[in-house]
């Protein structure tokens, strides 16, 4: 990401500005993906609870679904 904006700052992409832009891009990507994973785990957990009434929806169950 920093190499695309380096002409705007007239600096090298490995400068502190470039590293800051790269870190912000990674954080924005992570914070954009995490809600989708959480909502998907909640949907799967709710569906399993609907299909199997004995299925308990707990935080541990949802964390395991997020890992899968």
Residues 44-59: pLDDT tens digits?
A: 888 988 999 888 888 8
pLDDT at 1: 73
* pTM of the predicted model as reported, rounded to 2 decimal places: 0.64
Helix (H), strand (E) counts: the chain? 3, 0
Radius of gyration, CA atoms only, the chain? 20
Residue 13: pLDDT band by 50, 70, 90 thresholds?
Answer: low
Cα(first)–Cα(last) distance of the chain, in Å? 29
What mean pLDDT is reported for the chain? 84
């Amino acid at each position: 990401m920093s190499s695309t904006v380096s002409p705007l700052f007239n600096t090298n992409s490995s400068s502190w500005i470039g590293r800051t832009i790269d870190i912000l891009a990674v954080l924005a990507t992570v914070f954009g993906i995490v809600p989708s994973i959480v909502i998907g785990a909640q949907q799967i957990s709710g569906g399993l609870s609907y299909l199997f009434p004995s299925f308990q929806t707990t935080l541990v169950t949802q964390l395991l679904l997020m890992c899968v």
